[in-house]
Amino acid sequence: MTDSKSEILQGTLDLMVLKTLAAMGPLHGYGIARRIEQISEEALRLNQGTIYASLVRLQQKGWIKGAWGASENNRKAKFYSLTRSGKKQLSAESENWERIASVIGRVLQLEERG
């Protein structure tokens, strides 16, 4: 990878947010963003606007729900968790991503004509 931070492919942030919540349990937006950055080994950087736009989209679709609570530093924060339909969507999106990644992998294995 280059020194610049990677751009997130359209639609993949929602999948990463769903997977993070499935793996970690309820988290606030900042915690979700930091966890994705950690997993990416800092290759991805998520600003507040990006992560919160995803959270709003996912809530509107009914795939996550939010509840107010206290963060680690005792501040009021909205914690998000996966809904039943969110778990189903995560499964479907994961399968679709695996198919797409497999196809891209096969295309990249093509030998170049010399």
* Structure confidence by residue, pLDDT tens digits, 19-60: 999 999 999 999 999 999 999 998 888 888 889 999 999 999
CA–CA gap between residue 102 and residue 48 (Å, rounded): 32
What's the CATH architecture for 12-108? Orthogonal Bundle (1.10)
Query: Going by C-beta distance under 8 Å and a sequence separation of 6 or more, which residues neighbour residue 63?
Result: 18, 82, 83, 85, 86, 89, 90
For 70-104, what is each residue's pLDDT tens digit? Answer: 888 888 999 999 999 999 999 999 999 999 999 99
The answer to whether the pTM exceeds 0.75 is: yes
